[in-house]
Structure 1
Amino acid sequence: MTPSQTKRRLGLLSLVVSVGLVAIKFYAYHLTRSQAVLTDALESIINVFTSGFALYSLHLASLPKDENHPYGHGKVENLSLGFEGGLIFMAGAFILFSAARSFLHPHPVGQPDWGVALLASTAVVNLAVGVLLVRAGKRLKSVALVGDGQHLYIDALTSIVSSGALVLVAATGVVRFDSGAALLLGGFILVNGWRMLRRSVSGLMDETDTAIVTEVIAELQAQRRAPWIDVHNLRVQRYGANLHIDCHMQMPYYFTLEEVHSQLFDIEELIKERFAVDVEMFVHADPCTFAACSLCLMADCPVRVHPFRHEVVWNVHNAVKNERHHLT
C-alpha cells in the first residue's frame, strides 16, 4: 500500500468514527440534558466536518504535479488544518456563551450514570483512533492526519471532563459543576482552535521549519567535501509531506561545468537519501573569490593567494543568510 493510500484510509476511518460517536453523544445528551455533554456533542459535530474535509485534502495532496501546480498539491493539507482550526475556534466561542448562560441559570441533570458510561466509551475510541492518526501522520509527514488526530485527543479529553462533571453532579447534587465544566471545556477548545489556525497559517506562509533546516545543514556539514567551499541562502519549503530545498554553494571558479554539475548532483542525492519523503533540491553554484581562500579546504588549490586559516562550520544561523561567509 502506498503512503497516499494509507493516508486516505486513515482519513476515512476518522470520518466513520466521528459520525458514529456524534450519534452516541447526542443520545447521551438526550438522556442527561447536561450542558457539559452538549458541549462534547457539539464539538464532535466539528469532527465530522473536519474529518470529511481532511479526507478530501488527503486525496488532493496525493495528486501528482501538473502545469497549474508545479510544486504539487500538498499545501492543501495546511488549508485543511486551518479549516479545522477555524471551526473548532467558532465552536469554542459558542460553547463558552452557552455554558455561561447555563451557569447563570442552571437546570437539573438526569440519568448521569448512563451519560458517564456512554461518554467514557467514546473517550476510549477517540483516544485510540487519535493516537493511531498522530503516529501515522508523523511517520507519513501529513499535517492533516496529525491535526485530525490531535482533534480527536481534544474530543477524548472533553468526554473525560464531561464524565467527571456528571459524576460530581450525581455525588454532590450541585448542578453548577456541569455548566462549570462546560465553561472550562469551551475555553480549552477555543485555545486549541487558535493554535491549529496558527499552525495552518505558518505552513501556508512558508514559515521556516527550524528542525528541517537544521537537519539539512547538519547533513551537508557531515558529508562536506573540499570543493564545497561555502553554503548560504539555504531555504526549505514544505508542500504537504514533500520538501523543496534550494541553496547557493560556492565552488572553485576554475572547475569545469562538468565538474560543478557532478558536485551538485552528489549534494542533491545525499540530501534526498537523508529524508524519507520526496525531496526536490536546487543548488545554485557560485564561483569562489580570493576572499574565500582563508576558509577554503582545497589543499591542492592552484590559484590560492591567502593561506587557509580555519573552517567555517555551517549551522542554522549562518547557512540561511543570503551572504557569502568570510573571515575577518
Structure 2
Amino acid sequence: MTPTQTKRRLGLLSLVVSAGLVAVKFYAYHLTHSQAVLTDALESIINVFTSGFALYSLYLAGLPKDENHPYGHGKVEYLSIGFEGALIVIAGLFIFYSATLSLIHPHAVAQPDWGVALLSFTALINLAVGLVLTRAGKRLQSVALVGDGQHLYLDALSSLGSSAALVLVAATGIVQFDGAAALLLGIFILVNGYRMLRHSVSGLMDEADSAIVSQVIAELQARRRPSWIDVHNLRVQRYGANLHIDCHMQMPYYFSLEQIHTELHDIEELIRTHFAVDVEMFVHADPCTFKACSLCRMPDCPVRQHPFQHAVEWNLGNAVRNERHTLKPPATVADKP
C-alpha cells in the first residue's frame, strides 16, 4: 500500500468513527439532558465535517504536480487544519454562550450513570483512533492526519470532562456543576481551535520549521567536504509531506563546471536520502573569494592567499542568513575581484 493510499484509508477511518460517535453522544444527551453532554456532542459534529474535509484534502495532496501547481498540492493540508480550527472556534463560541445560559438557568440532569458510561466509551474510541492517526501522520509527514488525530484527542478530553461533571452532579446534587463544566469545555475548545488556526496560517505563510532546517544543517555539517567552503541562505518550505530546500554553497572558483555539477548533485542526494519524504533541493554554487581562505580547508589549494585559521561551524544561527561567512584576513592582501 502506498503512503497516499494509507493516508486516505486513515482519513476514511476518522470520518466513519466521528459519525458513529456523534450518534452515541446525542443519545447520551437524550438520556441525561446535560448541558455538558450537549456541549460535547456539538463539538463532535465538527469532527464529522473536519474529517470529511481532511479526507478530501488528503486526496488533493496526493495528486501529482501539474502546470498550475508546480510544487504539488500538499499545501491543501494546511488549509484543512485551518478549516478545522475555524469550525472549532465557531463551535466554542456557541458552546460558551449556551453554557453561560445554563449557569444562569440550571436544570436537572437525568440518568448520569448512563451518560458517564456512554461518554467514557466514546473517549476510549477517540483516544485509540487519535493515537493511530497522530502516529501515522508523523510517520507519513501529513499535517492533516496529525491535526485530525489531535482533534480526536481533544474530543476525548471533552468527553472525560463531561463525564466528570455528571459524576459531580450525581454525587453532590449541585446541578451548577453541569453548566460550569460546559463553560470550561467551551474555553478549552476555543483555545485549541485558535492553536489549529495559528498552525494553519504558519504553514500557508511558509513559516520556517526550525526542526527540519536544523536537520538539514546537521546533515551537511556531518558529511562536510573541504570543497564545501561555506553554506548560507538555507531555506526549507513544506508542501504537505514534501519539502522544497534551497541554499547557496561556496566552492573553489577554479573548479570546472563538471566538478561543480558533481558536488551539487552529491549534496542534493545526501539531503534527499536523509528524509523519508519527497525532497526537491536546489543548490546555488557561489565562487569563493580570497576572503574565504582563512576558513577554507581545501588541501593544496593552488590560489590560496591567506592561511587556514578555522572552519565556520554551520548552525541554525548562521546558515540561514543571506550573507557569506568570513574571517578577517590580513589587510595587506587585496581580495580577488
TM over 0.5: yes
Alpha-carbon offset, residue 188 of structure 1: 0.3
In the other structure, the counterpart of 1:20 is: 20
Distance of 1:202 and 1:148 partners within structure 2: 17
Deviations, residues 147-200 of structure 1 (Å, cap 9, x unaligned): 000000000001111011111111111000100000110000000000000000
RMSD, aligned CA: 0.5
Structure 1 unaligned regions, length at least 5: none
Query: Which amino acid letter does the alignment assign opposite residue 325 of structure 1?
Result: H
Query: Which amino acid letter does the alignment assign opposite residue 87 of structure 1?
Result: L
Q: Secondary structure at the match of 2:285?
A: strand
Distance of 2:109 and 2:163 partners within structure 1: 12
Distance of 2:286 and 2:307 partners within structure 1: 21
Distance of 2:155 and 2:137 partners within structure 1: 18
Alpha-carbon offset, residue 111 of structure 1: 1.0
Query: Which amino acid letter does the alignment assign opposite residue 210 of structure 1?
Result: S
Distance of 1:118 and 1:295 partners within structure 2: 67
The answer to whether structure 1 residue 117 and structure 2 residue 109 are counterparts is no
In the other structure, the counterpart of 2:215 is: 215
- Listed as ranges, the matches of 1:306-317 within 5 Å are 306-317=306-317
Distance of 1:218 and 1:266 partners within structure 2: 16
Q: Secondary structure at the match of 1:129?
A: helix
Distance of 2:310 and 2:173 partners within structure 1: 75
The list of structure 1 runs, each at least 4 consecutive aligned residues, that deviate by more than 4 angstroms after superposition, is: none
Alpha-carbon offset, residue 113 of structure 1: 1.1
Q: Secondary structure at the match of 1:299?
A: coil
Distance of 2:149 and 2:89 partners within structure 1: 17
Q: Secondary structure at the match of 1:65?
A: coil
Distance of 2:118 and 2:220 partners within structure 1: 54
Distance of 1:239 and 1:150 partners within structure 2: 20
Query: Which amino acid letter does the alignment assign opposite residue 164 of structure 1?
Result: A
In the other structure, the counterpart of 2:37 is: 37
The answer to whether structure 1 residue 92 and structure 2 residue 117 are counterparts is no
Deviations, residues 189-230 of structure 1 (Å, cap 9, x unaligned): 000000000000000000000000000000000000011011
Alpha-carbon offset, residue 7 of structure 1: 0.3
- Listed as ranges, the matches of 1:202-281 within 5 Å are 202-281=202-281
- Listed as ranges, the matches of 1:1-328 within 5 Å are 1-328=1-328
Which TM-score applies when normalising by structure 2? 0.97
Alpha-carbon offset, residue 68 of structure 1: 0.5
Q: Secondary structure at the match of 2:117?
A: helix
Deviations, residues 129-161 of structure 1 (Å, cap 9, x unaligned): 000000000000000000000000000001111
Q: How many residues align?
A: 328
